Amino acid sequence: MENSRQRRGSNHNGKMQKGAFYLPPEILCEILSRLPVKYILRCRSVCKEWCHLTLGPQFINLQLSRVNHQLPQLILKSDHKVDLQSLLLLDTEGCNINKIPFKKMSCTSKRLNCLRLMCSCDGLLCIAADYLIQPVIILNPITRESVILPSPKRRAYVVSHQIGFHLDPSSGKYKVVREYRNMNSLNRDEGSSFEIITIGDSSWRKLSAPPVPIDYGLGAAVYWNGAFHWKIQERNDKSGDNCILGFNVSDEKFYTISCHVRFGSSEYDLLVLGGCLSLVEHDVHLMRIWKVTGTKDEGYSLSFHCTYDTCVRWNKYLHYSVICQTNADSFLLKVSREDGENGPNHWFVQFFPGKALYSYLNIPGLPSRFRGVYFKPSFVSPKAALPCYS
């Protein structure tokens, strides 16, 4: 009987561990990586072995591979002055919000307060200003680590600033691309300026881009099929055949996508729907969707896909943007309503075009004004690519 107890209390190396069962590290990694991030953080307090295990690259890569196969969450930043001390991690399925305070993050809360969420990749956020080209911060809100990218020698005020941030699959390094237009280049026919930096490099590099103006009402660059994309601003005096500008992350070359359609004065969303790069037009009560077809080798083009009647007469006081297509039958929308001097109020709804129905999402703690991006919580360190960490 005593020998039986001893065998049950031994670990895989045959050493006694005070009567407890111990698993090999690879099996522990498999188990812990399946937990939600908040529980993994708690597990780090269980013992030194678990803490060391979850800080290792094997575990970080395994957890990231699992979260990449899950539905992304949204991370929000309030635009309301009284609530600028935290990021908000939103689960739209469970309709709940978890706050991530700024105070323990390595960059100052004052710096984060005045910046905007641009985009995310692998659990890392890219945060920057709308009308300044510095600073640009890469932040993991879960681990609270951050990297401030090198600043240019000049302090440029801009009328638009859109950023793309993603992993270059060919090099395994993260790259940041930004598009901006200076205050002194307001002519619609003048092109935007583009710069790129690989995290760990000491300076930004200028990119030679086609002389096309970018529509700066769409927010950040959209990543799809290995490239960033921006909607080209339509010109009044030209044919406007090319409506999307693309930039391949690996070979760092630009290309354009033609549409052969004249777009009017409606608002547009450029995003990925059902795995396809799509352009969504909001024309009063109609939602029109175009999708990009073709291949990289043969070339891309924009083709009309479908029209939905939203049954609402949208205008400058009440409008919406498409967040994502939740399934084949519904879309998640962010609805905005202007409220006089108080600015817009925001909320989320599910739109079911086949039934012409809307379902309001009652989310406790949702701020009245916010901006958000897709987010998949991870333990990837933004400092991993820096020279001192390599």
Work out the mean pLDDT of the chain and round it to a whole number: 83
On whether both 59 and 87 belong to a single domain, the answer is: no
The 10s digit of each residue's pLDDT in 324-380 is: 998 888 999 999 998 777 678 999 999 999 998 999 999 998 998 898 999 999 999
SS3 112: helix
Mean pLDDT across 248-259: 92
Determine the pLDDT at residue 237.
46
Q: Once rounded to an integer, what is the mean pLDDT over residues 317-325?
A: 92
**Closest CA relative to residue 315, chosen from 287, 359, 282:** 282
One domain for residues 46 and 156: no
* pLDDT, tens only, 216-235: 766 789 999 999 999 887 76
Residue 203: band (very low, low, confident or very high) from pLDDT cuts 50, 70, 90 = very high
pLDDT band with cut points at 50, 70 and 90 for residue 307: very high
8-state DSSP, 151: P
pLDDT single digits (tens) 155-166? 667 777 889 999
Q: Are residues 94 and 155 part of one domain?
A: yes
* Residues 6 or more apart whose Cβ sits within 8 Å of residue 203: 150, 152, 197
pLDDT the model gives residue 299:
86
3-class state of residue 373 by DSSP: strand
Is the per-residue pLDDT at 191 higher than 60? yes
pLDDT > 70 in the chain, percent: 83
Dist. CA 38–CA 26, nearest whole Å: 21
Residue 13 · residue 2 · CB < 8 Å: no
Q: Does residue 91 contact residue 106 with C-beta atoms inside 8 Å?
A: no
Q: Which one has a higher pLDDT value, 107 or 174?
A: 174
Q: Please tell me the distance from the alpha carbon of residue 164 to that of residue 227, in angstroms, as a whole number.
A: 9
- pLDDT above 70 (res 10): no
Is 179 in the same domain as 57?
no
Q: Are residues 325 and 382 in the same domain?
A: yes
Task: Report how far residue 147's alpha carbon sits from residue 198's, in angstroms, rounded to the nearest whole number.
Answer: 12
pTM score, whole prediction? 0.85
**Residues 280/287, Cβ–Cβ less than 8 Å:** yes
More confident call, 35 vs 17: 35
- Cβ neighbours for 388, distance < 8 A, ≥ 6 positions apart: none
Please give the pLDDT value at position 20: 52
Residue 6 has pLDDT above 60, yes or no: no
Q: Are residues 11 and 126 in the same domain?
A: no
Q: Is the per-residue pLDDT at 4 higher than 60? A: no
Q: Among 104, 93, 107, which residue's Cα sits nearest to residue 36? A: 93
Query: Between the CA of residue 129 and those of 219, 231, 269, 313, what are the distances in Å?
Result: 12, 20, 21, 33
Going by pLDDT thresholds of 50, 70 and 90, the confidence category of residue 387 is: low
Do residues 58 and 78 share a domain? no
Q: Kindly state whether residues 151 and 252 are assigned to the same domain.
A: yes
CB 172 within 8 A of CB 182: no
Of these ranges, 147-161, 167-181, 210-224, the one predicted with the greatest mean pLDDT is 167-181
Residues 75 and 26 in one domain: no
The predicted structure's pLDDT at residue 174: 94
Q: Which range is least confidently modeled, 37-46, 107-116, 137-146?
A: 107-116
Q: Return the bridge partners of 258, or none.
A: 242, 301
Domain end marker among 43, 66, 89: 66
Which range is least confidently modeled, 131-140, 169-178, 258-267, 272-281?
258-267
- 127 shares its domain with 199: yes
Per the listing, tokens 């799809």 go with 224
The pLDDT score that the predictor gives to residue 1 is 43
User: Which domain covers residue 237, as residue numbers?
Assistant: 71-389
pLDDT at 312: 94
With 0-12 / 13-18 / 19 or more C-beta atoms within 10 angstroms meaning exposed / middle / buried, residue 388 is exposed
pLDDT at 15: 46
Single-letter residue type at 324: C
- State how far Cα 209 lies from the chain centre: 24
Structure tokens at 10: 């031994």
Evaluate the omega torsion of the peptide bond into residue 353 and state whether it is cis, within 30 degrees of 0: no
What mean pLDDT do residues 45-61 have?
A: 89
Please compute the mean of the pLDDT values over residues 244-255 and round it to a whole number: 94
Give, for 324, the enclosing helix (H) or strand (E): strand 318-327
Dist CA 354 CA 308 (whole Å): 8
- Among residues 66, 82, 102, the one where a domain terminates is 66
Pairing of strands 116-121, 357-360: unpaired
- Give burial (CB, 10 Å; 0-12/13-18/19+) of 245: buried
Whether 275 and 317 map to the same domain: the answer is yes
Same domain (yes/no): 229, 271: yes
| The predicted structure's pLDDT at residue 84 | 67
Cα separation of 267 and 334, whole Å? 14
In the chain, the number of structural domains is 2
Average pLDDT over residues 101-120: 75
List Cα–Cα distances, 350 to 154, 200, 232, 278, in angstroms: 44, 41, 29, 19
Domain CATH code at residue 126: 2.120.10.80
pLDDT of residue 189: 55
In terms of Cα–Cα distance, which of 147, 103, 92 is closest to 124?
147
Tokens representing 154? Answer: 């000049």
Last residue of a domain, one of 66, 87, 117: 66
CA distance 345 to 79: 10
